[in-house]
Amino acid sequence: MALPKSPPAPAPELAGYLDACATSPPSAGVLQVMAELQHSAWANPSSLHGFGLRAAESLERSRQRLAERLRAGDHDLIFTSGATEAIHLALVGASEGLPSGRLLISAVEHPASVAAAERLRRQGWQVEVVPVNRQGVIDLEALRALLVPPTRLVSLIWGQSEVGTLQPIQEAGALCRAADVLLHVDAVQVLGHLPVLLDALPVDLMSCTAHKLQGPRGVGMLVRRRGVPLQPLIAGAQEGGQRGGTEAVVLAAGFAKALEEATERLAAHGGLDPLADLRDPLLARLLALPGVRLSGPDPQRGGQRLPHHISLLVQSPDGEPLAGRELVRHLWRQGLAVSSGSACSALSSTAGQGGSAVLRAMGYGAAEAASGLRISLGPWLRPEDLEAVPARLDQARRVLECRRSGH
């Protein structure tokens, strides 16, 4: 496939921003749509006067545009404050409409899903973890064996934010359907980078957010297959009684515009994310550095990985893992913004103690699990923006090696 047409030259700081899985800068189109609506649809969409009706019309148009892009004709789209709220609404809200039972989650879930699972545990539910292999892929046979009473709900992260693993959602969903068990999918990292067509997915609940695909912060969405029982976390009349509070009309429009831009970009490249054409040459150059290894699936060997995602383990020449967090700090001094894991994990008071829980679940020891580095790309980048990345990583690695050896 030909390389994508280069976007306009980014602002200098965006040329070094390689942390799209944490968040992404709003696109020019998203900012324009939102600026226009700040003037025309600022009112409360529940008000019955003309100002409110104009806001309500904008909100429903955004919902319709999102549903069309997702082919979610038989689904309800419930706007939330973000993916964390959407995940909690999915798991806690669905559990309250079911007899107490068992929730299954994978060993590599996002902290938001782990927190929601813990809430169910406190409410009397059993929570069981489905193991993953060395690439972070769930064990489908273990899942199958657990899809028996009292299992009533399964939650899986589709695209793992730290190591890029894509889970076999079609196969997992088919198993859940056969067992008559509800499936929630965290599609936060996938939306905008892979085609997400709900009429072809065996999924009952799907959570997503706008800011990972160059939309605004502060708005997410839970997509519910009609007929799936759901109790609101926040009581109120808004969102069909599923989520109280005045809706963020302008943010919803920004979400719809961001998804339109992302799906049009996919369609223009045959359903594939053109960021993979930037990612793959960079990955090859990074893996040529001494002491740098890939974690998660290898896309060059058929591994199913997010197309804009690179995750690495970095060690010294004598094989000692180097601290990923220190590498992040040194790379930032060279103008590169990367990550050592998910942004939400980094906020934990125990982060760094024993390394990444995701890497440990994949079979890595504590020292290796603390040596992870994540690079995630966005549409604002051009090939020339990535030229210096391997050399800068090598320089950061050498600095840490010198400190370690006392030189």
Q: Taking 50 as the threshold, does the pLDDT of residue 4 lie above it?
A: no
pLDDT at 201: 97
Q: Taking 60 as the threshold, does the pLDDT of residue 290 lie above it?
A: yes
Q: Taking 50 as the threshold, does the pLDDT of residue 269 lie above it?
A: yes
Same domain, 100 and 33: yes
For 79, what's the count of Cα atoms within 13 Å in the CB-facing half-sphere?
26
Q: What is the mean pLDDT of residues 264-268?
A: 97
- pLDDT per residue as tens digits for the range 110-156: 999 999 999 999 999 999 999 999 999 999 999 999 999 999 999 99
Same domain, 256 and 280: no
CATH of the domain at 211: 3.40.640.10
Same domain, 210 and 314: no
Say how many residues make up the chain. 407
Residue 6 lies in a domain: no
Residue 5 lies in a domain: no
Same domain, 256 and 209: yes
Q: What is the mean pLDDT of residues 98-108?
A: 96
Same domain, 305 and 244: no
> What residue numbers bound the domain in which 34 lies?
28-266
The model's pTM is: 0.93
Parallel/antiparallel/unpaired status of strands 309-314 and 292-294: antiparallel
Q: What is the mean pLDDT of residues 71-79?
A: 96
Same domain, 291 and 247: no
Residue 112 lies in a domain: yes
Quickly state the pLDDT bin for 317 (edges 50, 70, 90).
Answer: confident
Reference 136, options 397, 389, 374, 394; nearest CA is 374
CATH of the domain at 375: 3.90.1150.10
Q: What percent of the chain has pLDDT over 70?
A: 93
pLDDT at 403: 76
Same domain, 256 and 355: no
Domain end residue (candidates: 226, 245, 266): 266
Residue 173 lies in a domain: yes
Q: What is the mean pLDDT of residues 104-111?
A: 98
Residues with active-site annotation: 344
| Residue that wins the pLDDT comparison between 1 and 40 | 40
Same domain, 179 and 302: no
Q: Taking 90 as the threshold, does the pLDDT of residue 292 lie above it?
A: yes
Same domain, 239 and 279: no
Structural domain tally of the chain?
Answer: 2
Residue 118 lies in a domain: yes
Domain end residue (candidates: 231, 266, 301): 266
Average pLDDT, the chain: 93
Q: In the block, which residue shows the tokens 């980048």?
A: 381
Q: Taking 50 as the threshold, does the pLDDT of residue 1 lie above it?
A: no
Residue 283 lies in a domain: yes
Q: Taking 80 as the threshold, does the pLDDT of residue 10 lie above it?
A: no
Same domain, 182 and 295: no
Same domain, 148 and 224: yes
Residue 202 lies in a domain: yes
- pLDDT per residue as tens digits for the range 352-399: 457 899 999 999 999 999 999 999 999 999 999 999 999 999 999 998
Q: Taking 70 as the threshold, does the pLDDT of residue 339 lie above it?
A: yes
- pLDDT per residue as tens digits for the range 185-223: 999 999 999 999 999 999 999 999 999 999 999 999 999
Domain end residue (candidates: 215, 247, 266): 266
Residue 33 lies in a domain: yes
Quickly state the pLDDT bin for 5 (edges 50, 70, 90).
Answer: low
Same domain, 247 and 298: no
